[in-house]
């Protein structure tokens, strides 16, 4: 029989193929695919190698697996079954990442050969449809943000942050303030790349911590700003799911000392169409097309991070932009950006991701986008209420207040009561077929977990997730061993982490493994053996 509809718990076991490493499947001589023969007239005596100096020829063919085609397919399909994508689980345990439904039709639209088989240097006359799509996407993003110009280039959110840091660097340099404005202020509940990319672009990083209500401490901001402030890099709502209602004051404070304000909008999903970067006083912002705009996450990319700026800062954007020429009626790649930072990415952006975002916006329209935001809030506050009823769970900060699109919770009490950690809980959640992520470091919130239900999941699915969480929390109190030794029904069992941090022990490739070990992790006594 199927899952128990009363308890909402599944008798789950993930696929477990015990699949060998691909090199263990190799059989000399097998072929996975044949490639076109060289026509007779193009054949040279030494198969093209005659012009290549001996020392530049490969001595022996690369040691790659040799496998028939179906064996390759089967190996990878087994690996895919040992992976739990958003299409298969109630993927709300990966807060901050907006694991929403990626509509299948959009994948189909992006796979069109009239998209996939285009070359970036082919005549722009022959890509007018694609350029129009990119141009229109920018128009929509302008409307959603209130910004004046967008670059579609960056390959992900962190890459967008890096692009913004590059623009701030160019802006500071252009004003002759390179040595003077050398600080960027961020908050501890903004994504770590805000701090890391700022440092890379030569800025000193100042991190603001929250006050008792969970919102970044405005007094700390006032104390941090000065004529050295180049910019504020901030998320709102932050990763704990609390909206900073004084955001306009924040941007005003930074502007009062002459700095710029950059809005990390990874957490756009709950506020889309309800409040915009422009009205909150930001000069720059970015969106993750693989989060809010539904493009699939692809095991960690390809993604898309689009950067929006005010008119004043458009002169620094990477080239080219996509523009429209009124006189010819043509779309074109526009390199006329006077103080461009140059380029941050090959060519013009992650086209299949941009196309999916375009299709998603077109399918929902203005009202649909707002509905998505509102339902993301509704789903989150519904689950918020239910999780607070679970023994051992809490949501630090702003007690009694509702939340935005996600919540950072804590198992601090459960840990004190039982010794079970959030990592233990995580490992046990897998036994019921759902993901669960702890949280970005550092763990300011003790034993944290972050839940973001987005608009994509039904009430019944949210109830199922809550039932699993409740069950596992209850196990922590009644049978902590089963939680601490989890997972039991996942693909594999407890991993020994010693092998990942010790240079003598780690092996990042199979050939490194073969140099360090024989059999199953038996160290080679002599590396040259």
As measured in angstroms, the least distance from the Cβ of 234 to another protein is 14
**Nearest-approach distance from CB 327 to another protein, in angstroms:** 19
Among 7, 129, 209, 256, binds another protein (CB under 8 A): 129
Please give the backbone phi and psi of residue 464, each rounded to the nearest 5 degrees, phi first: -65, -45
CB 271 → another protein: shortest distance, Å?
7
Query: Tokens representing 378?
Result: 């509704």
Q: How buried is 258 (Cβ within 10 angstroms: 0-12 exposed, 13-18 middle, 19+ buried)?
A: middle
Which residue stretches of 389-489 are H helix? 412-418, 422-429, 459-478, 480-484
Residue with smaller CB distance to another protein, 8 or 435:
435
By the rule CB under 8 A, 455 interacts with another protein: yes
Q: Does position 243 bind another protein by CB under 8 A? A: yes
What part of residues 91-120 is at the interface with another protein (CB under 8 A)?
91, 94, 97, 99-103, 105, 107-109, 111-120
Among 147, 150, 151, 158, binds another protein (CB under 8 A): 158
CA–CA separation, 94 vs 88, rounded Å?
Answer: 14
Of 3, 128, 334, 471, the one binding another protein (CB under 8 A) is 128
255 is a contact residue toward another protein (CB under 8 A): no
Alpha-carbon span 425 to 414, nearest angstrom: 10
Q: Is 268 helix (H, G, I), strand (E, B) or coil?
A: helix
Determine, following the binding rule CB under 8 A, whether residue 359 of this chain makes contact with another protein: yes
User: What is the C-alpha to C-alpha distance for residues 276 and 148, in angstroms, rounded to an integer?
Assistant: 12
The number of residues that bind another protein (CB under 8 A) is 221
Out of 496, 525, 526, 529, name the contact with another protein by CB under 8 A: 496
Closest listed residue to residue 304, CA positions, set 110, 434, 76, 79: 110
In sequence order, the 6+-apart residues with CB closer than 8 A to the CB of 74 are none
Q: Closest approach of Cβ 240 to another protein, in Å?
A: 13
Q: Is 245 in the site for another protein (CB under 8 A)?
A: yes
Residues 191/158, Cβ–Cβ less than 8 Å: yes
Q: Identify the residue among 501, 525, 526, 529 touching another protein (CB under 8 A).
A: 501
Per rule CB under 8 A, is residue 353 in the interface with another protein? yes
Site for another protein in 418-447 (CB under 8 A): 426-427, 430, 435, 437, 440-441
Taking the complex as a whole, how short is the minimal distance between the CB of residue 477 and another protein, in angstroms?
23
Query: What is the x/- site pattern for another protein, positions 270-299, by CB under 8 A?
Result: xx-xxxx--xx-------x-x---x-xxxx
194 contact partners, CB below 8 Å, separation of at least 6 = 161, 184, 186, 233, 234, 235, 264
- If phi > 0 it is left, if psi is from -120 to 50 it is alpha, else beta; for residue 44 that is beta
31: three-class secondary structure by DSSP: coil
Smaller CB separation from another protein, 67 or 285:
67
Nearer to another protein, 477 or 489 (CB): 489
Q: Specify which residues 286 forms β-bridges with.
A: 264, 307
* Beta-strand runs (E) in 339-411: 407-410
Of 10, 255, 330, 374, the one binding another protein by CB under 8 A:
374
CB 527, min distance to another protein, A: 11
Establish if 459 lies at the interface with another protein (CB under 8 A). Answer: yes
User: How many CB atoms sit inside 10 A of residue 374's CB?
Assistant: 15
75 scored as a contact of another protein (CB under 8 A): yes
Rg, C-alpha atoms of the chain: 26
Minimum Å gap between C-beta 2 and another protein is 20
Q: Report yes or no: 231 and 185 within 8 Å, Cβ to Cβ.
A: yes
Lay out the site mask for another protein across 186-225 (x = CB under 8 A, - = otherwise): -----xxx-xxxxxxxx--x-x------------------
Provide, rounded to whole angstroms, the least separation between the CB of residue 75 and another protein: 8
- How far from chain centre, in Å, is Cα 247? 24
Q: Name residues contacting another protein, limited to 6-65 (CB under 8 A).
A: 14, 18-23, 30-44, 47-49, 51-53, 55-59, 61-65
């Amino acid at each position: 029989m199927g899952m128990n509809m009363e308890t909402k718990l599944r008798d789950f076991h993930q696929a477990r193929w015990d699949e060998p490493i691909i090199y263990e499947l190799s059989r000399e001589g097998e072929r996975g695919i044949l490639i076109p023969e060289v026509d007779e007239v193009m054949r040279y005596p030494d198969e093209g190698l005659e012009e290549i100096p001996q020392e530049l020829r490969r001595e022996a063919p690369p040691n790659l697996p040799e496998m028939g085609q179906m064996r390759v397919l089967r190996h990878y399909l087994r690996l895919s079954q040992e992976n739990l994508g958003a299409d298969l689980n109630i993927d709300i345990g990966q807060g901050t990442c907006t694991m929403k439904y990626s509509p299948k039709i959009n994948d189909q639209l992006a796979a069109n050969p009239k998209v996939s088989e285009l070359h970036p240097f082919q005549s722009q006359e022959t890509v007018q449809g694609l350029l129009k799509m990119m141009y229109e996407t920018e128009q929509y993003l302008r409307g959603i943000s209130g910004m004046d110009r967008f670059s579609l280039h960056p390959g992900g959110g962190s890459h967008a942050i890096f692009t913004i840091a590059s623009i701030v660097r160019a802006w500071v340099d252009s004003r002759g303030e390179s040595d003077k404005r050398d600080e960027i202020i961020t908050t501890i509940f903004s994504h770590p790349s805000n701090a890391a990319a700022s440092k890379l672009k030569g800025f000193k990083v100042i991190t603001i911590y929250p006050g008792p209500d969970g919102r970044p401490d405005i007094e700390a901001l006032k104390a941090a700003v000065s004529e050295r402030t180049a910019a504020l890099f901030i998320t709102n709502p932050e990763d704990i799911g609390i909206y900073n209602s004084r955001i306009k004051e924040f941007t005003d404070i930074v502007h009062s000392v002459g700095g710029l304000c950059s809005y990390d909008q990874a957490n756009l999903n709950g506020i889309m169409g309800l409040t915009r970067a422009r009205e909150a006083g930001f000069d720059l912002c970015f969106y993750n097309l693989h989060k809010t705009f539904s493009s699939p996450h692809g095991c960690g990319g390809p993604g898309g991070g689009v950067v929006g700026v005010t008119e004043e800062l458009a002169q620094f954007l990477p080239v080219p932009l996509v523009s429209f020429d009124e006189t010819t009626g043509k779309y074109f790649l526009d390199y006329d950006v006077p103080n461009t930072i140059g380029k941050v990415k090959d060519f013009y952006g992650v086209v299949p991701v941009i196309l999916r975002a375009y299709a998603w916006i077109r399918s929902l329209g203005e009202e649909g986008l707002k509905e998505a935001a509102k339902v993301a809030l509704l789903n989150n506050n519904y689950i918020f209420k239910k999780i607070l009823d679970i023994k051992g769970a809490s949501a630090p900060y702003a007690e009694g207040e509702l939340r935005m699109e996600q919540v950072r919770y804590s198992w601090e009490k459960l840990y004190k009561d039982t010794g079970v950690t959030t990592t233990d809980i995580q490992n046990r959640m897998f036994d019921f077929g759902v993901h669960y992520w702890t949280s970005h470091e550092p763990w300011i919130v003790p034993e944290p977990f972050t839940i973001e239900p987005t608009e994509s999941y039904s009430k019944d699915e949210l109830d199922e997730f809550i039932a699993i969480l409740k069950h596992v929390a209850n196990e922590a109190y009644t049978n902590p061993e089963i939680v601490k030794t989890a997972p039991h029904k996942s693909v594999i069992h407890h991993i020994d982490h010693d092998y990942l941090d010790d240079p003598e022990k780690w092996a990042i490739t199979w050939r490194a493994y073969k140099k360090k070990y024989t059999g199953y992790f038996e160290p080679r006594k002599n590396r040259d053996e």
